[in-house]
């Protein structure tokens, strides 16, 4: 599907964008991948990594600017929407700005993709969008709803929208692993709560889930990757056992345990080999055989949380991953 196509990635200079561009160029050989983002310095740094590849293009712009999106989407076949204000405390203290990017920006992108006849759009979501306890999660839930409902406006032969949802991306910029690695030099690792758990996913798994969604989607589905959980205390131990652990309390907007599928969503959720799929509740699309596509209905009141997960990452497994990826951690 993506072979010889034109792809645009909003927020493409982030951790996901770097991995998506590299992996997609190797696997699908698209005609071009356009990086749409607002930070010229990050674009400059990324351009140096792909300086010899004419398939990679850069476009300065902001999802808050609808006219700029229309220009960037000219001739584009597929869109990955990764642009977001996503740091939880930042969103709590700057709610208006978070809403402008995560909700208004999503609306702008949807309108522009519909009018420019883009074939398919995948929006990146987060475990914080399920039963949100913070503003970031609430805006991403609203964004998810917008992308799902937008399939109602696109007609039978036009743009299709889908969503992928996953948890903590291991080693990405601003995430807990590079923070702990940097912080261990002080001899103290701050841990919010000894009970806290998080979902763990690699960037490669995140990219592969987007590919799966592009290939599989009919429109309006939310794809949830099956991934392991880990206790934050164990994560700290994987980084270093020769430091002091200081319990500092939960930050504004944080949850003890993350959730990717709520009991309310389970009514519309189907299970597959390595992922779940939440089908749209509107228009009885949750009963559509094409969208179900061989899935098995999850049990009544099913919840997929980092606390009740059946798959757990061990300290040794994470230590091995850190050793193999040490040069990339925090730079991806």
Q: What is the DSSP string of 7-72?
A: EEEETTTSHHHHHHHHHHHHHH--SEEEEEES-HHHHHHHHHHTTT-TTEEEEE--TT-HHHHHHH
Asked whether residue 305 carries a pLDDT value surpassing 90, the answer given is: yes
Residue 289 has pLDDT above 70, yes or no: yes
pLDDT over 70 percentage in the chain: 99
Band of residue 155 on the pLDDT scale cut at 50, 70, 90: confident
Using a 10 angstrom Cβ sphere, with 0-12 exposed, 13-18 middle and 19 or more buried, the burial of residue 284 is exposed
- Taking only the tens place, the pLDDT of each residue in 208-262 is 999 999 999 999 999 999 999 999 999 999 998 888 999 999 888 889 999 999 9
For residues 26-40, give the mean pLDDT: 97
Cα dist. 79→177, 297, 326 in Å? Answer: 29, 29, 31
What's the pLDDT band for 156 if we cut at 50, 70, 90? low
The band of 157, judged by pLDDT with boundaries at 50, 70 and 90, is: low
Q: What DSSP line would sit under 66-126, residue for residue?
A: HHHHHHHTTT--EEEE------HHHHHH-HHHHHIIIIIHHHHHHHHHHHTT-SEEEEEEE
At 266, the pLDDT band (50, 70, 90 cuts) reads very high
**Which pLDDT does position 154 carry in this prediction?**
77
- Is a pLDDT exceeding 70 seen at residue 48? yes
Q: What is the mean pLDDT of the chain?
A: 94
Q: Where do the structural domains in the chain lie, given as residue ranges?
A: 6-167+200-226+259-304
Catalytic residues: 128
The number of helix segments (H) and strand segments (E) in the chain equals 12, 17
Is 90 exceeded by the pLDDT of residue 263?
A: yes
**What CATH number was assigned to the domain covering residues 6-167+200-226+259-304?**
3.40.50.720
């Amino acid at each position: 599907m993506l072979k010889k196509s034109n792809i645009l990635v909003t927020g493409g200079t982030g951790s996901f964008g770097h991995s998506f561009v590299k992996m997609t160029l190797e696997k699908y050989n698209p005609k071009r991948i356009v990086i749409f983002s607002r930070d010229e310095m990050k674009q400059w740094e990324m351009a140096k990594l792909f300086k010899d590849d004419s398939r990679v293009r850069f476009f300065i712009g902001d999802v808050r600017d609808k006219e700029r999106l229309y220009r960037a989407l000219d001739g584009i076949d597929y869109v990955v929407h990764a642009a977001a204000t996503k740091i939880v405390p930042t969103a709590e203290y700057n709610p208006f700005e978070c809403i402008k990017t995560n909700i208004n920006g999503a609306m702008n992108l949807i309108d522009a993709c519909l009018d420019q006849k883009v074939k398919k759009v995948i929006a990146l979501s987060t475990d914080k969008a399920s039963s949100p306890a913070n503003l970031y999660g609430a805006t991403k839930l609203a964004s998810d709803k917008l992308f799902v409902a937008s399939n109602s406006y696109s007609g039978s032969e036009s743009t299709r929208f889908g969503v992928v949802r996953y948890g903590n991306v291991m080693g990405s910029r601003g995430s807990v692993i590079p923070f702990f690695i940097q912080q261990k030099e002080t001899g103290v690792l701050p841990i919010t709560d000894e009970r806290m758990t998080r979902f763990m996913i690699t960037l490669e798994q995140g990219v592969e889930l987007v590919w799966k969604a592009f290939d599989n989607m009919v429109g309006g589905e939310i794809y949830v990757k099956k991934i392991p959980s880990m206790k934050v205390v164990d994560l700290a131990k994987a980084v270093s056992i020769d430091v002091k652990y200081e319990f500092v309390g939960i930050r504004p907007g944080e949850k003890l345990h993350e959730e990717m599928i709520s009991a309310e969503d389970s009514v519309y959720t189907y299970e597959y080999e390595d992922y779940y799929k939440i089908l749209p509740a509107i228009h009885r699309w949750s009963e559509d055989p094409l969208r179900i596509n061989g899935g098995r209905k999850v049990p009544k009141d099913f919840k997929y949380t980092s606390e009740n997960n059946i798959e757990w990452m061990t300290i040794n497994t994470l230590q091995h991953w850190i050793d193999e990826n040490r040069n990339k951690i925090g730079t991806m």
